[in-house]
Structure 1
């Protein structure tokens, strides 16, 4: 082993020696190099919520790309256990080496990999299609899983992009949300299927680099349970468990809601327990007069369901994120929603109801049985109709 003669204080903190062979090397196709710096950066996200996030990862090292596209890192990292690192390239003019682009996995500028002690990695990639083109020669089991995740994400993203383009024309926001949910679900299914911790956590981060898990709360909570059983002492797992604590997530499917008090449009307050009494199924709908998808759902889905099943002990109680009583009244009348129960604090979207259910996004809904147990949530359009039809037919 030969030791480096001149190391900066920064390098000493993270690297212990220079090996005879580079621990990380590779070749970049720089045929479109005019726009790209001939430098490869090594970035460490130190927390789970820093993974796939710009400007927060610690820049550990950099390597110049030679005229033939070759680069190499010689100083071995000092980590005692496997860690997730990100190899990053940047366009010319970019001031921050830890800027990560999360716009399109075909062209995003970084690739996450697992470093293990004694690793010798050789990678190859096209600089302009960095994430999608990167290959690893003889990858470890963990990095083989990371490559598999990247490929699955690529397919899912192409499907999402196709669906997004299709529904942008008709501005079907609920269809767009459903497409996003399918994309996120595929990534979390990967996390569920793998035994490799860091690729599994990477899948969760790629499901939402912004850390917005409101619409996939059940899936994320299940992942926190899985990884905490396998790696209870891992710091990132502890971070995931804290984030996915039920007290930090919206009410989950299977939970029981009983202690809500509704300020009714008709006057006074009514408890959810009172509304549930003697009902086979209650749809708790969270909407607003200014929410276009909510208004369409009122007319096209909720009115027909209420007309069909209200006499069979099906009820709808709609909570409105309203600040104008006049706008609320007009929407209810125009949509034919006067048929069912309505409530609102008339405090807009900052109100005790949203805080109680830990919601930030509408339209939202919960399908409750007589006990107040959440049987399903956030079903819209024909998905909602099919659920209600099926459930009521069995009662």
Structure 2
């Protein structure tokens, strides 16, 4: 009889614990609106490293939930940590992995980063087809409010600079226009990261600048972010990873750096020292190629007029060509009028040792140096480059 009582008591305790667990409030719950199909799943993702943030297939799926027919979902399997943790919620189209994140268009992005802290409950609402754009949190904390503000800034920057743009990138001016628009979009995110007092939203902004982790065009931004957060949260693992990424050996020559002095083989079969070739006032180190349409336009429309007007006043241009065919290089330089200034190449194409030395992979690219060989500006083209040169010679 006692044995039966013990069994009954045990069953009741188990049932009680089960009911308690099922009725305890979810750490994260919400409603997904606009569902037009069944068995939609929403995933909870935890990035373990800086490069995993806002990156497809890299974050760790720690929980998932089937969205009920009325749109409700709940998460109970949250990390056991006392510190605030960055998580990502993602709804997935059919056939996609739980940690697939769509970054091409903020209007249709399928995920949203949030910050969660132990003991906190988050109530979320979003539309299925424009998850990130419509994402809201009831009574969000300061840090989640900041993330929502960042989301809005990104969306507006995208609408202003990139939405519905169709560039014909085979045309030189169109490619430069696209690059300028991308830089304008990135600048909004970089300005946010520079000004926010919150590390995790700054990390999101940094990763949204380039989910592909390519900061070749904005390396100074990485350096500045390392400097900022190293003073505030030096022990955070992502700050340490950020500072490792922003080490000089991993980045192109920075504004404020002294440009490396290298020996360059010229189109006339000579070898020149870059340091000995500096202009008395300014030097443009121009990276180009005969097959690069925007480079060719820059030669004819910008560099030739600048050289003709300011060379006698102390402007020098040193061009390095990513060529493997000497005849094509010479023909392009002569046709563009670019044989007026120093032309150099190792004729090793993309494997050029000079590019490895200055850690550049993308052209058109340039560095503007002062009379001492210090970089004062980079990657200026068209009117921006012409204005910089003109202002330096006429001030």
Unpaired stretches in structure 1, ≥5 consecutive residues:
7-16
Distance in 2, matches of 1:158 and 1:84, equals 26
Residue by residue over 1:340-380, the C-alpha shift from the partner in whole angstroms, topping out at 9 and shown as x without a partner, is 11110011111110011000100111111111000111000
Aligned partner of 2:267 in structure 1 is 265
- Alpha-carbon offset, residue 101 of structure 1: 1.0
Give the match's secondary structure for 1:78: coil
- Alpha-carbon offset, residue 19 of structure 1: 7.9
Contact 1:19 1:75 in 2 (8 A): no
Spell out the pairing of 1:89-168 with structure 2 (5 A cutoff).
89-94=91-96, 96-162=97-163, 164-165=165-166
- Alpha-carbon offset, residue 268 of structure 1: 2.7
Change in CA separation of 1:64 and 1:350 when aligned onto 2, cut-off 3 Å: same
Give the match's secondary structure for 1:183: helix
Spell out the pairing of 1:245-324 with structure 2 (5 A cutoff).
245-276=247-278, 279-324=280-325
Distance in 1, matches of 2:143 and 2:168, equals 37
Q: Residue 30 of structure 1 is aligned with which of 34, 51, 62?
A: 34
Change in CA separation of 1:357 and 1:180 when aligned onto 2, cut-off 3 Å: same
- Alpha-carbon offset, residue 270 of structure 1: 1.2
Q: Does 1:381 align with 2:385?
A: no
- Alpha-carbon offset, residue 30 of structure 1: 3.3
Contact 2:41 2:91 in 1 (8 A): yes
Residue by residue over 1:54-85, the C-alpha shift from the partner in whole angstroms, topping out at 9 and shown as x without a partner, is 11111101122112111112344312311111
- Alpha-carbon offset, residue 267 of structure 1: 2.2
- Alpha-carbon offset, residue 389 of structure 1: 0.3
Give the match's secondary structure for 2:162: helix
Scaled by the length of structure 2, the TM-score of the pair is: 0.92
- Alpha-carbon offset, residue 39 of structure 1: 1.8
- Alpha-carbon offset, residue 103 of structure 1: 1.7
- Alpha-carbon offset, residue 224 of structure 1: 1.2
The structure with more radius of gyration: 2
Change in CA separation of 1:19 and 1:82 when aligned onto 2, cut-off 3 Å: farther
Aligned residues: 379
Aligned partner of 1:12 in structure 2 is none
Change in CA separation of 1:164 and 1:323 when aligned onto 2, cut-off 3 Å: same
Aligned partner of 2:236 in structure 1 is 234
Instruction: Please report the RMSD computed on the Cα atoms of aligned residues, expressed in angstroms.
Output: 2.0
Q: Residue 215 of structure 1 is aligned with which of 214, 217, 220?
A: 217
Give the match's secondary structure for 1:270: strand
Change in CA separation of 1:4 and 1:115 when aligned onto 2, cut-off 3 Å: farther
Distance in 2, matches of 1:169 and 1:275, equals 33
Aligned partner of 1:192 in structure 2 is 194
Scaled by the length of structure 1, the TM-score of the pair is: 0.92
Distance in 1, matches of 2:301 and 2:346, equals 26
- Alpha-carbon offset, residue 241 of structure 1: 0.4
- Alpha-carbon offset, residue 167 of structure 1: 6.6
Spell out the pairing of 1:10-29 with structure 2 (5 A cutoff).
20-29=24-33
Change in CA separation of 1:63 and 1:261 when aligned onto 2, cut-off 3 Å: same
Unpaired stretches in structure 2, ≥5 consecutive residues:
1-13
Aligned partner of 2:392 in structure 1 is 391
Spell out the pairing of 1:7-86 with structure 2 (5 A cutoff).
20-31=24-35, 33-34=36-37, 37-86=39-88
Residue by residue over 1:175-206, the C-alpha shift from the partner in whole angstroms, topping out at 9 and shown as x without a partner, is 11011011111101101111111110000000
